[in-house]
Homo-oligomer: A and B are copies of this chain.
Amino acid sequence: MHKGLLLVVSAPSAGGKGTILGELFKQNSNLCLSISATTRFPRQGEENGKQYFFVSREEFQELVDNGKMLEYAEYVGNCYGTPRAPVESWRAKGKDVVLEIDVQGGAQIKQLVPDCVSVFIVPPSFAVLEERLRKRGTEDEETIQKRMDTARQELEHAKYYDYLVINDRLEEAVADMQAILRSEKRKYSRNYDFAERM
């Protein structure tokens, strides 16, 4: 049986990652979503094990010390990390695992799990990104400009990713993701055993 893929997905904010992944999960029953652990407090409506695993700083440190985190980082005073066990057991069962991660984490994962497949989702242009941010209507002008600056910086990291998916039309972007999952399973490097056996 094929070992499942680890699909690492990053995008600048308002890049449309959530919508694309939502659709991908709907179409693909073989996908599992990695849930991060965090030391930050749950927000209204968040449930333990759904958006995040909420743990104490001591519990988090213990997970790190025992090698139970695939990667982790501190961000605005809180720790975030990817628990190793579910990712590895799903992959061993042939399930593909999706890991949503910020751009710094994405570069780190590639070094820790060299056989992961990393995808950077980009808007078709900065103009479109700005328009999308405005349409949300949730942020003031200053925040929008700050987010645009961040997006520009984040795009610098795109070069560390295997694939660049352009979020122009949703169905095309989802089809791109499906094609990436399918074709990666056909990579010679993932079929070494098959060729050797023959």
Question: What is A's interface to B at a CB cutoff of 8 Å?
Answer: 120, 122, 125-126, 155, 158-159, 161-166, 175-176, 178-180, 182-184, 186-188, 191-192, 194-195, 198
Q: How many copies does the complex hold?
A: 2
Judge whether B122 and A198 touch: CB under 8 Å: yes
The answer to whether residues A195 and B164 also contact, given A158-B188, A183-B179 and a CB cut-off of 8 A, is: yes
Known interface pairs A155-B198, A159-B195; A165-B180 also in contact (CB < 8 Å) = no
Q: Is the interface of A mostly helix, strand, loop or mixed?
A: helix
**Assembled-state Cα–Cα distance A183/B178 (Å):** 9
Determine the chain B residues whose CB is within 8 A of the CB of A183 once the complex forms.
Answer: 163, 176, 179-180, 182-184
- Quick one: given A155-B198, A195-B122, A195-B155, are A162 and B176 in contact (CB under 8 Å)? no
Of B161, B166, B186, B198, the contact of A194 (CB 8 Å cutoff): B166
Q: Inside 8 A of A120's CB, which chain B residues have their CB?
A: 188
Min Cβ gap A96→B in Å is 14
Contact B186 A163 (CB under 8 A): yes
Contact B176 A186 (CB under 8 A): yes
* Cα separation A180 to B186 with both chains bound (whole Å): 8
Specify the chain B residue showing the minimal Cβ separation from A118: B188
The distance in angstroms between the C-alpha atoms of A188 and B198, with both chains bound, is 33
**How many Å lie between the Cα of A191 and that of B155 in the bound state?**
13
Q: A191 to chain B: which residues have CB within 8 Å? A: 164
**Chain B residue with the shortest CB-CB distance to A173:** B186
Interface centre among A120, A161, A166, A183 (most CB of B within 10 A): A183
